Amino acid sequence: MHKLSLDRILQSQGFGTRKWCRELIEDGEVSIAGEVITDYRTVVDTGNLAFTLFDELWTYREHIYVALNKPANFECSRKPSHHPGVLSLLPEQFTWREVQPVGRLDHDTTGMLLMSDDGAFIHAQSSPKRHVPKLYVATTQEPVTPELIEKMLAGVKLHDEPAPLVALTCRGLDAHQLEIVLEQGKYHQVKRMLAAAGNHCTALRRTAIGGLTLDALDLEEGEWCYLNQLQLALLA
C-alpha cells in the first residue's frame, strides 16, 4: 500500500470526481477512526485503511474483486442495449471505478459472474490459455439420455469451430437437467453443444469457476460479495 491525499483516496474508491471528493471532505462528511477530517490535502496511509463516509464504513481497496449471482435478463455489458446491465446490481461507485464483468454470460443465463476493475486479473481470467473449468447446470427441452451425455463427452462439431468441442465431464441430474464442465468458454457454448447433440437448452446456470462454487459463497440471485485472497486462489 502507499500514502495518498484524502481526496485522491476517495476518487480512487469511486466516490466521484476529484472536485466532488474535495467538497465532501470540506463539508465534514469523511472521518477516520472517529476523527472528522476537513482538509482534503491530508495524507493518509492506505494500508488497512477504513473510513466513514455518509455514516457508512468503507474499507480502502486498491482493486475490487467481486462475485455476483447473476439473475436472468441482465446484460454483461457496461452499455446494455435490451436489458438492464449487471452493474445496476452493484454500488454506484463501482461504475466510477470502471468495474466490468470477467467474460460474459448470456442475458438469460444465471449464476456466478466475476467482476473487477483490475485489468491484469480480467485478462488472465479471460485468457483461453488458462483452461479454468467452469461448471454449468443446463435444463433441456427433451429428456436427458445416455446418448446425449456420450455425445457431449465425445465432442460435438459446431459449424464455425475447427475441431469438435468436448465437455470435461457431463452427467445427468434428473430427466431434464444435466451438469456440464467446460474449459473453453466459447460463444453460447453449452447451448450450441446441446443443440448440435440433438437437444435444446431452456435454462442455464453457472455454479462454479475453478474451485470456487456458488454454494460456498451463499449468495441469493442478485446478491454479490467481495472475494478474499483465499477465494481468488480457488480460481487458478
- Give the Cα separation of 26 and 38 in Å (integer): 4
Beta bridge partners of 180: 136, 170
Distance CA 41, CA 113 (A): 38
User: Residue 166: what residue type?
Assistant: V
- Could you give the residue numbers annotated as active site? 106
Do strands 110-116 and 100-101 pair parallel, antiparallel, or not at all (unpaired)?
Answer: antiparallel
- List the grid coordinates of 24: 465532501
- Provide the angle, in degrees to the nearest 10, between the axes of the packed helices 189-196 and 146-154: 120
* Beta bridge mates, 50: 59
* Residue 67 cell numbers, joined: 462475485
Report strand pairing: 110-116 vs 201-209.
Answer: parallel
